[in-house]
Amino acid sequence: MSGNSFGLLFSVSSFGESHGPAIGCVVDGCPPGLELTEADIQAELDRRKPGTSRHVTQRKEPDTVEILSGVFEGKTTGTPIALLIRNQDQRSQDYGKIAETFRPGHADYTYWHKYGIRDYRGGGRSSARETAVRVAAGAIAKKWLKEKFGIQIRGYMSQLGEIEIPFQSWDQVGENAFFAPNNEIVPQLEAYMDQIRSERDSVGAKITVVAEGVPVGLGEPVYDRLDADIAYAMMGINAVKGVEVGAGFASVAQRGSEHCDELTPDGFASNHAGGVLGGISTGQDIVVNMAVKPTSSIAQERRSIDKAGNPVMMATTGRHDPCVGIRATPIAEAMLALVLIDHALRHRAQCADVKVDTPRIPGAIGG
């Protein structure tokens, strides 16, 4: 397939353009018997939908999901679950002007050379709008992981531009427009974003995602390592330029005596590994960071070229997020959920019969 399907056993085949009739996906491989309603999925979609604050795009999209198959009398049947989201607020006229030019920092130039044709309306297939599909599919994965293992997947914004956001509590993440785990810093973030917008500029962000309650043993040892698949999933999110698991780049300057997590009968003494050793989950929290680049669509004039190769100056108008990272948290959670359910299914295919007497120690002591 041409890169529009995600997952081996719990697979998501995505479709749709930003300004086409609809976006959606086929989710294949969901175990039967899971209670599932459109409301379960809608709840996650509402967390990422646009227009929820002045700090995100003002495009109005209800992102209402319809389940077309795979659910009978309120439960999944083991057959494909098709999800459909009709596009509503399509101001295609905003985009007519970019049909002949390539927006800097966007996929316009690469799509044009790859395919020789592109749906230029709002970026078409390359639009971050497609991430709604991931959130919808991820909602199914999240629910199954929660019910099957008690796995909880949560994320937050850990840095906005230059501003690092100290973690206060998970409770506060849902209480502000930034998914910040810290309400006190919110006024500073708002002022910062207002300033960015006033400068007709944009800024990047860092998102942290954590999975708690993951059993030991998920992941494959060599190529499809759990951390490799996580890196693939996160780097595959629009605008992401970096991924870390556990200590990440900080491990470059660490000593082995510091980095490697000791084991004790009471649990791991630390979690520099971020919950993965040798590509397989340890039972510790899985901790992932991702770097989101600043939105490429800004109202400042920039140099570019047109389809004839001539130089042009262009400013990207239309309704854009001044920081795409703000809405990235639910997407990152969804992708982590999709990775984990796939590996959970793969694990039991091969290792369902495995029994060991060795006790499974808890995650990092006190954290």
Q: Which of residues 71-90 bind its own copies (CB under 8 A)?
A: 72, 75, 77-82, 84
Tell me how far apart the alpha carbons of residues 333 and 323 are, in angstroms, rounded to a whole number.
18
Q: Which of residues 324-353 bind its own copies (CB under 8 A)?
A: 345-353
Nearest CB to its own copies, comparing residues 39 and 354: 354
- Minimum distance from residue 184 beta carbon to its own copies (Å): 21
Tell me which residues in 159-178 interact with its own copies (CB under 8 A).
Answer: 159, 161-162
Query: Within 10 Å of residue 306's Cβ, how many Cβ atoms?
Result: 14
Among 219, 285, 326, 336, binds its own copies (CB under 8 A): 219
DSSP output for 66-103? EE-SSEETTEE-SS-EEEEEE-----GGGGGGGSSB--
The binder of its own copies chosen from 137, 247, 334, 364 (CB under 8 A): 247
Quick one: which segment of 41-49, 56-64, 67-75, 181-189 binds its own copies (CB under 8 A)?
Answer: 67-75
How far apart are CB 52 and its own copies at their closest, in Å? 21
List all residues 6 or more positions away from 322 whose beta carbon is below 8 Å from its beta carbon: 55, 56, 193, 196, 197, 201, 202, 203, 295
Longest Cα–Cα distance in the chain: 70
- Residue 141 in contact with residue 340, Cβ under 8 Å? yes
Any idea which residue has 């703000």 for tokens? Answer: 326
296 annotated among ligand-binding-site residues: yes
Binding mask 116-155 for its own copies (x = CB under 8 A): xxxx----xxx---x-----------------x-------
Report the alpha-carbon distance of residue 350 to residue 363 in Å, rounded.
25
In the complex, the smallest distance separating the C-beta of residue 313 from its own copies, rounded to whole angstroms, is 10
- Residue 225 interacts with its own copies (CB under 8 A)? yes
Q: How far is the CB of 44 from its own copies (least distance, A)?
A: 19
CB 328 within 8 A of CB 295: no
Q: Quick one: which of 39, 93, 198, 249 contacts its own copies (CB under 8 A)? A: 249
Query: Amino acid identity of 45?
Result: L
Interface residue with its own copies, options 245, 286, 326, 337 (CB under 8 A): 245
Write b or e for each residue in 26-51: b if 16 or more Cβ atoms lie within 10 A of its Cβ, otherwise e: bbbbbeeebebeeebbbebbebbbbe
User: Interacting stretch for its own copies, rule CB under 8 A, among 37-45, 50-58, 180-188, 236-244?
Assistant: 236-244
Q: How many residues bind its own copies (CB under 8 A)?
A: 163
Nearest 10 degrees: Cα torsion 87, 91, 97, 98: -30
Nearer to its own copies, 67 or 173 (CB): 67
Q: Return d(Cα 208, Cα 329) in angstroms, integer.
A: 8
Q: Least distance from C-beta 177 to its own copies, angstroms?
A: 19
Binders in 177-216 for its own copies, by CB under 8 A: 196, 201-206, 216
Which pair of tokens denotes residue 87? 């596009």
Q: How many CB atoms lie within 10 A of CB 217?
A: 18
Q: Which of residues 98-117 bind its own copies (CB under 8 A)?
A: 102, 104-107, 109-117
CA distance linking residue 326 with residue 163, whole number of Å: 13
Q: Between residue 250 and residue 309, which ones bind its own copies under the rule CB under 8 A?
A: 250-265, 269, 272-274, 277-282, 291-298, 300, 302-305, 307-309
Task: Give 171 or 366: the residue with its C-beta nearer to its own copies.
Answer: 366
Q: For the chain, how many residues are written?
A: 367
Q: Which one-letter amino acid corresponds to residue 127?
A: S
Confirm or deny that 48 is annotated as ligand binding: yes
Closest approach, Cβ 328 to its own copies, in A, equals 12
Annotated binding site for NADP(+): which residue ranges?
48, 54
Annotated binding site: which residue ranges?
48, 54, 125-127, 238-239, 278, 293-297, 319
